[in-house]
Amino acid sequence: MIYKIRIYGDPVLKKKAEPVTEINDEIKEILDNMLETMYASNGVGLAANQVGILKQLIVMDAGTKDSPKPIKIINPVIIEKSKEKNEYEEGCLSFPGVTEKIYRPAKVKIKFQDINNNEITIDFVGLEATAIQHEIDHLNGILFINRMSPIKRIMLDKKLKEIKNSKSVEVK
């Protein structure tokens, strides 16, 4: 099932997601649907907030069409960040048509649970490090525009107002 992606202006995007206390069939189904929604939207990552579900769930795939690398993440926590930063042109499914260069730690160590309730720790680097930090921000009610300088946000003001007023995004 493909979910409707919530876009900028929807109050759910600024809310904190709750930890998942039990990994059951419902949680697994939500993650499957989130992955399907992310692929249908040509995204790299998707946090549950973006589909109106306030649970600490993320799906990501920074692979390629020929070599996909889907990952389902439950209750993620950043346990280490590099001092070195990378700059990536970030976009967001909740901000259609908006991209901006954002600086984030180049490498992060994330602890999370998988769908089998195993505790996993992974070092993410490059695009994957950027994507996981972007999605964890979503779970904490932080939007990528909050990571932009005030000048960049002012320059985007007209576009942000247009997005806010459109109220929905079509998934094809």
Give the model's pLDDT for residue 171: 46
Q: Return the number of other C-beta atoms located less than 10 Å from residue 82's C-beta.
A: 15
| Distance from the Cα of residue 147 to its chain's centroid | 14
CB burial readout 131-170, b (16+ within 10 A) else e: bbbbbbbbbebbbbbebbeeeeeeebeeebeebeeeeebe
Give the model's pLDDT for residue 167: 60
- Domain spans, the chain: 11-166
The token pair that represents 51 in the structure block: 């589909």
Alpha-carbon distance of 45 to 33, in angstroms, equals 13
Give the model's pLDDT for residue 40: 96
Alpha-carbon distance of 15 to 86, in angstroms, equals 27
List the catalytic residue out of 90, 100, 128, 135.
135
Per-residue model confidence as pLDDT tens for the chain (172 residues): 999 999 999 999 999 999 999 999 999 999 999 999 999 999 999 999 999 999 999 999 988 888 999 999 999 999 999 999 999 999 999 999 999 999 999 999 999 999 999 999 999 999 999 999 999 999 999 999 999 988 988 889 888 888 888 765 444 4
Superfamily of domain 11-166: Peptide deformylase (3.90.45.10)
Please say if 135 is a catalytic residue: yes
